[in-house]
Amino acid sequence: MLSNSQKNYIIGLISLVVLIVLALFVYKNLKVEDKTTVAQPQPSVEQNKLVAGLNKEQYISKWCEANSQDPFVCVTAIQDCKNDIKSSKCDSESFNQLESSWNQNKNPDPNSEKPQSKVDQKVLAEYCSYTVDTKTCIKDMNACFDGTSTDKNCKAYIRAFNDETTNGTDYGSDTSNSNPTLEDIYQNNVAVESVKACKGNANCNTFHALAKNWEAIPQSETKQLARDGDGYGLWKGYSYSDERINELAEAGEAAFYRGGAASPKEERIFGQGLAVLLYLQGPENFEY
């Protein structure tokens, strides 16, 4: 027979063993849960180029948003890899995918279409001189050329610039017909350049193209007002009764006058366009 002290000793020993086993079981489950959180299901690598001009930290965040169900955990796991590639919290597979994507976007395929790296600033200044804000145009175009712009339309801007300057034509002219008549432009028989100030409005682009050719109208008092940039005088002192003429005039006002809030350069474009419209409307509305 065991004494009471011996029984108590054995019971205490068994209890200790049970506690150790339970502790090991809990610890093991916590480790598994931790690994499951970090090594979440691996997403496929996003092949499309992410937003240009990001630094590495911003790129990691964007990449995780595009490729992970839990971007925060993804970023944390990749940061752990940067600190220690052997860390138990490091998601090495995602880290390697991220590095591959980063390097590809830093060094794109040499055979892919690339922005023009250099541009004659005098040519660019002339090209932009017909826009509402010349300085902004030059700045934005240079950003497109050197690849730092985030504007998705950069390729289109560069293509238009190359078309215009290569053919030696003025900004806004149609390269398929280097000398379109005012009537051709007015009747939409030729393509005209889409200018940023018009925000995609076709009538506004036509108005701008007509304004660019204001010198084609005969010498007259109306032409002198256009030369002086008197958009206000041409807008308030004349009638634009023809429906098509009025639509173009209204579109020009919205972009290049805006109730008098436009700059003098914009008002000049507005006045030049109005003078052409008066000429096209007929002799009764055109002061020679």
pLDDT digits (tens, 9 = 90+) for 261-270: 999 999 999 9
Give me the mean pLDDT over the 48-68 stretch: 62
Alpha helices (H) along the chain? 4-38, 56-67, 71-83, 92-106, 121-128, 134-146, 154-166, 182-186, 202-212, 221-228, 231-236, 243-256, 264-281
pLDDT tens digits, one per residue of 201-259 = 999 999 999 999 998 888 888 889 999 999 999 999 898 989 999 999 999 999 999 99
- Asked if pLDDT for residue 111 goes beyond 60, the answer is no
pLDDT at residue 77 in the model: 73
State which of 40-49, 78-87, 94-103, 237-246 shows the largest mean pLDDT. 237-246
Percent of the chain whose pLDDT exceeds 90: 23
Q: What is the mean pLDDT of the chain?
A: 74
pLDDT at residue 36 in the model: 44
